[in-house]
Each structure stands twice: as structure tokens, then as C-alpha cells.
Structure 1
Amino acid sequence: MIKPAHGDPKLDKVPNMVRVMANSPAVLEGYQGLARALKKSTLPQTTFERIALTVGAANACSYCVAAHTYSGKTAAGLSDADVELAKQGSAEDAKEAAAVEFARALTETRGNADPSKARAAGWSDEQILEIIALVALQTMTNYVNKVAETENDWPAA
């Protein structure tokens, strides 16, 4: 288990995952940089959260599934049914389902996924690249949390 970095009293209000990453300033900076950049993406918040849920579930990261269940419901307005479908790699809406299925396929095949269904559903080349980057970011956080055995500080999923 990697213990969270301490020293700055403000860190107590930061998610445990970020506190773990603070053990390496380079890792924390890389994570924050890509996360900030993806906040400027053209992906809707609902898609962002669904992809985070499907990647977390595919990688069996309970920390990330709990975090994105919370943010999916509170920030993106996902229902319980939406969350469950996302964890399974799908969505009721056909366009959302194509994005989530592509993200799940990227995760399960280690990048050997065909984007044609996502493209046919209306996702642009820009958005397909953003989905790939989001899968990479989520995979990084999944791996950090699993290796570090990050203590869950989110409501149980």
C-alpha cells in the first residue's frame, strides 16, 4: 500500500487518490494536466462520466467506480440505471452507447478497438481522440488506485 503524502493541511480536503499521487510531483502534474485539458474537450459531461464508469468497472477499480458514481449522479445527472449501464459498457441513448462501447473496447483490447461504430453514431474524429485520451487518463487512475490500495473516501457505489 502506498500511503498518501502528508504535510500540507489542505490535502485533507483533497481526494485520497490525489494525495497518493502527490508522492510523485511528476505523476501528479501529469494527471492534473491531462485532466484539466480534458475538461476543455467537446465531450458532454454525461459521456465523460459514463466512460469513466465503464473503464473503472472494466479495470475493477472500486475507488474510481465509487468516485464516478458520485460525480456521475451529482455533476452529470446520471440516474442509477444510467450508472449501471455505464458500468456494463453501454447506455440507453444510441450515441452515448457507441462512445461507451468504444471506450470499453479500448480498455479490454488494450487499444485495438475500431471507432467506426462511434463515428457512425455521430462522434467526430476530435471526440474519438478525446475518448481515447479519457480512457488513458482513467486507466492511469485505475492502476494508481489499485496498486496503492487507495482508501475510498467516496460514498460506496
Structure 2
Amino acid sequence: MSRLQIPATIADAPAASQPFLEAVNKKLGVVPNLFRLIANSPAALEGYLGLAGALAKGALPAQTGERIALAVAEINGCDYCMSAHSYLGKNVAKLDDAEMSANRNGGSNEPKAAPAVQFAAKVAHERGRVSDEDLRVLKEAGYTDAQIVEIVVHIALSVLTNYANVVANTEIDFPVVRTYQGSSNGTHTLLDT
């Protein structure tokens, strides 16, 4: 059960959030719990949707954004975001299970994406304190300064949703995929070493 109010319907959300939720519903055909949670603050919902929308027009491929979201959800132990991005990764970004497993472990089986996901995982783990060498590797892989900034903003957007969902204990309304931290099998990511 959620620890924060999640409006049951669009009509139950604050009036200023309702147009944003209607737009989400029009685009997705549903309003996932994350959006309804954030709708408690119309300003937060507008900011979240604005940033997500801007990133969708960025220089990074959408698949790379999903890969980063999976890596960051794993690092932060957010089962809601792991479930949502596993669903989106498979059904929208068309990532296979092996790729999503690599993403969860801070890597990628796709040579061009691997440096970006590795960098994102390092940024998330080290709270931005990366080395000159980390940046050099990313630039040598062909990433521009603009793309590096977008990687950081993708991380920030993921952290926002991870923390909101962990704080709220948002009910998962996607097929459930637990983070390694959330599973009972004691599995650890490669990043735990």
C-alpha cells in the first residue's frame, strides 16, 4: 500500500494536474501510478513531464535512455521503476532480456551504448564524482558534450522517479520485476564489487 496519496482517477487529482494527466492518458492510453503520485504537486508533475519531453527530443537514442533508467533503478533499488522500464525496454525500446540484464548490471551488450551505461552507473554510484579518465573513455567512444549532459539529466530524471516511488512505496502497475535488492535470492549486481 502506498505511503502517499495516489489519486484513484484523473478527477481525483488536483485541478491543475488534471490537464497533464489527460495528456498522459491520451498518449499512453492509461495513467500509471507514478504520474498520479507526482500529480499531488502540479508543479512537480509539470516539471517532470517537461523534462521527460525535452529529453525525448535529445541527441541520445531512446534505447539508451531506457538502458540508463534500468541501470539507475537497479542502483537505487526501485522496484516500481525496474518494473516500468523493463516493460518499456522490452515493448517500446525492443531490448532483449540479455541486454536488459546487462543494463541492470551497469553495462550493455551493444558496443555503442556500453560506455554510456557504464558511465551512467558510475555517475549514479559516485554521485557525479567521476574522473577525467571516465570522461575520456566516453568521448573516445564518440559521445559529445551534449550527449554527456543528456546522460547526466537522464540519471537525474531516473533518480527523481526512483526516490519518489521508494518514498511513496508506489503500488506497481506493470508486470513486476524486482531489483536485485528487492529480490530474496541475494543476487548482487556487478557494481557491488
TM-score, scaled to structure 2: 0.77
Measured against aligned partners, the alpha-carbon deviations of 1:38-80 in whole angstroms (never above 9, x if no partner) come to: 0101111211110010011010001001100010111111000
Q: Report what 1:134 is aligned to.
A: 154
CA RMSD for the aligned pairs? 1.5
Matches within 5 A, 1:8-157: 8-9=10-11, 13-113=30-130, 114-157=134-177
Equivalent pairs counted in the alignment come to 157
Amino acid at match of 1:128: I
Partner of 1:152, secondary structure, is coil
Structure possessing the higher relative contact order (Cα contacts under 8 Å, 6 or more residues apart): 1
8 Å CA contact retained: 1:94, 1:121: no
2:4 equivalent to 1:2: yes
8 Å CA contact retained: 1:95, 1:118: no
Going by fraction, where is helix more abundant, 1 or 2? 1
Partner of 2:129, secondary structure, is coil
TM-score, scaled to structure 1: 0.94
Identity across the alignment (%): 45
CA separation in 2, counterparts of 1:71 and 1:115?
28
CA separation in 2, counterparts of 1:117 and 1:151?
39
CA shift in 2, pair 1:121/1:24, >3 Å: same
CA separation in 2, counterparts of 1:6 and 1:73?
27
